[in-house]
Chain A
Amino acid sequence: DAKTTQPNSMESNEEEPVHLPCNHSTISGTDYIHWYRQLPSQGPEYVIHGLTSNVNNRMASLAIAEDRKSSTLILHRATLRDAAVYYCILRDEWGNQFYFGTGTSLTVIP
């Protein structure tokens, strides 16, 4: 499976936008890009996923580079409840396996 690379940690001020980057230079044409987050003492939570086009939902936006070798998760207004570890995951077309990278620990500063 292709691997993802993320910064270990990032900080953001409350109510400001946050851009969480992910590199996946070995992505294949049928790999979907998934993002999950894990709040302290909880299981991971689905955030968003996409293939080629940018995606928006109520939680976040996903911007995918034209060559698909990188993507960015965008939280439009960070809140204290967004403090979590964010995982960028590649999942093949069959999606039957799921391998987490090391993730980015996001700290939100009041």
Chain B
Amino acid sequence: DAMVIQNPRYQVTQFGKPVTLSCSQTLNHNVMYWYQQKSSQAPKLLFHYYDKDFNNEADTPDNFQSRRPNTSFCFLDIRSPGLGDAAMYLCATSRSYGPISTGGNQPQHFGDGTRLSIL
């Protein structure tokens, strides 16, 4: 019954070689998020989509890009991975956001992540 699916669970790439991580959801949620979690640290928000509207965090490096071709899928592209990009990458969804009176502030549903290693 996995609702937010991340593939693969483990990804190895070479220094500087572009890599794409994928996320799919069966919840039909409007919002999809990408987080980076380094070892023994809390997840850090990179960016999110509300439908097709992309929202980047101010401190997310330009090396990180994202695509959302449809409601169900979202991709994280790392154009030139460096050793410092080795981390767990988490995808999450939520139905919407906005004032709770209009249905916002919904819980986020996370996938189990893709652990990225850089050789």
Chain A residues proximal to chain B, CB less than 8 Å: 32, 34, 36, 41-46, 49, 51, 87, 91, 93-103
Pairwise interchain contact A96-B108, C-beta atoms closer than 8 A: no
Pairwise interchain contact A96-B97, C-beta atoms closer than 8 A: yes
Choice from A91, A93, A96, A99 contacting B55 with Cβ under 8 Å: A96
Pairwise interchain contact A102-B42, C-beta atoms closer than 8 A: yes
SS class of chain A's interface: helix, strand, loop or mixed? loop
Query: CB-nearest residue of chain A relative to B94?
Result: A95
Interface string of B20-49 (1 = CB under 8 A from A): 000000000001010000000011110010
Choice from B31, B55, B112 contacting A42 with Cβ under 8 Å: B112
* Distance in Å: Cβ of A22 to nearest Cβ of chain B: 13
Pairwise interchain contact A44-B112, C-beta atoms closer than 8 A: no
Pairwise interchain contact A93-B90, C-beta atoms closer than 8 A: no
Known: A32-B105, A95-B106, A96-B55. A87 touches B42 (CB 8 A): yes
* Distance in Å: Cβ of B82 to nearest Cβ of chain A: 23
* Distance in Å: Cβ of B30 to nearest Cβ of chain A: 11
- A34 to B104 alpha-carbon distance, docked (Å): 14
Pairwise interchain contact A96-B50, C-beta atoms closer than 8 A: yes
- A96 to B94 alpha-carbon distance, docked (Å): 9
Pairwise interchain contact A99-B45, C-beta atoms closer than 8 A: yes
- A47 to B30 alpha-carbon distance, docked (Å): 21
Choice from B44, B48, B100, B113 contacting A43 with Cβ under 8 Å: B113
Q: Which residues of B contact A99 (CB under 8 A)?
A: 45
Within 8 Å of chain A (Cβ to Cβ): is B98?
Answer: yes
Q: Which residues of B contact A93 (CB under 8 A)?
A: 98-100, 104-105
* Distance in Å: Cβ of A97 to nearest Cβ of chain B: 6
Q: Which residues of B contact A32 (CB under 8 A)?
A: 100, 105
- A103 to B43 alpha-carbon distance, docked (Å): 10
7 A-B contact pairs sorted by A residue (CB < 8 Å)? A43-B90, A44-B90, A87-B42, A93-B104, A95-B104, A96-B97, A98-B92
